[in-house]
């Protein structure tokens, strides 16, 4: 990791804008200034491997991290993403419980973050009320996302899940090409590329999508 010096004033302002729930706690900000270091990661860089120790917690400033599980068959399923203004709850829970990381984490795009040592995070849990409130609110919100994912995997057919996924206008604007592969969609939904290819071919025959090498164009809402 490329690590810079402690945060500059401009970086502190960025942090305060992205993490307003923590911005007004002077003792927290002093500790962050003393212990935090800025990092920059390229897209595709693994951040954590399954079974690794969590020595730091990252406060994301820009870019996106993806947390996923990898099965023995090689299939992936995305658990959640960590965007600017967020931290990874699995890393946080591992630091609190002193357990090993139970998944994989990778930078999905170029990513900037502030790294704080695990020992400091543990001290904050005991001594800084605003941090405890932020941490538990983050865990509660993300837990709801993971429960929704479990419900989808358990109770929805794959064609329904694919339709819901393609119906996200921010990811697949109607009539515009979206650069994505069948394998990437399979990793999002926790299935095989062959299943996704077959379902997408059905949607193409229905005139709902147009398919090309490495891209998809949604022609009309699939749901």
pLDDT score for 123: 95
pLDDT digits (tens, 9 = 90+) for 62-92: 999 999 998 877 788 889 999 999 999 999 9
pLDDT digits (tens, 9 = 90+) for 169-210: 788 998 999 999 999 999 888 888 899 999 999 999 999 999
Q: State the residue range of the domain holding 135.
A: 2-155
pLDDT score for 8: 66
Cα separation, 191 vs 168, whole angstroms: 19
Residues 113 and 169 both lie in one domain: no
Residues 118 and 208 both lie in one domain: no
Which of 69, 222, 31 minimizes the C-alpha distance to 149?
69
pLDDT score for 1: 38
Cα separation, 59 vs 36, whole angstroms: 9
Number of domains composing the chain: 2
Least confident residue range of 52-56, 129-133, 165-169:
165-169
Last residue of a domain, one of 155, 173, 202: 155
pLDDT score for 155: 82
CATH of the domain at 138: 2.60.120.10
Residues 113 and 191 both lie in one domain: no
**Does residue 134 carry a pLDDT above 90?**
yes
Residues 61 and 166 both lie in one domain: no
Residue 223 lies in a domain: no
Asked if 82 and 88 touch (Cβ cutoff 8 Å), the reply is yes
Last residue of a domain, one of 155, 184, 199: 155
**Does residue 2 carry a pLDDT above 80?**
no
Which percentage of the chain shows pLDDT scores above 70?
96
Residues 53 and 40 both lie in one domain: yes
> pTM, whole model, 2 decimals?
0.75
Residues 83 and 168 both lie in one domain: no
CATH of the domain at 170: 1.10.10.10
Last residue of a domain, one of 119, 136, 155: 155
């Amino acid at each position: 990791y490329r690590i810079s010096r402690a945060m500059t004033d401009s970086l502190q302002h960025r942090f305060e804008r992205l993490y307003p729930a923590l911005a007004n706690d002077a003792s927290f900000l002093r500790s962050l200034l003393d212990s935090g270091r800025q990092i920059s990661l390229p897209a595709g860089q693994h951040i954590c491997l399954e079974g690794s120790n969590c020595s730091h917690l990252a406060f994301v400033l820009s870019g996106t991290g993806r947390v996923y599980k990898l099965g023995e068959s090689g299939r992936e399923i995305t658990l959640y993403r960590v965007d600017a203004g967020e931290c990874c709850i699995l890393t946080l829970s591992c630091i609190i419980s002193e357990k090993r990381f139970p998944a994989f984490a990778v930078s999905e795009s170029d990513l900037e973050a502030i790294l704080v040592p695990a020992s400091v995070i543990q001290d904050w849990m005991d001594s800084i009320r605003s941090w405890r409130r932020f941490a538990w609110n983050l865990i509660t919100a993300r837990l709801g996302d993971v429960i929704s994912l479990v419900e989808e995997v358990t109770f929805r057919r794959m064609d329904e899940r694919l339709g819901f996924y393609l119906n996200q206008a921010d990811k697949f604007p109607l009539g515009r090409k979206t650069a994505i592969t069948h394998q990437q969609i399979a990793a999002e939904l926790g299935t095989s590329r062959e299943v996704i290819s077959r379902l997408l071919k059905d949607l193409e025959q229905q005139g709902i999508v147009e398919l090309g090498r490495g891209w998809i164009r949604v022609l009309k809402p699939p749901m």
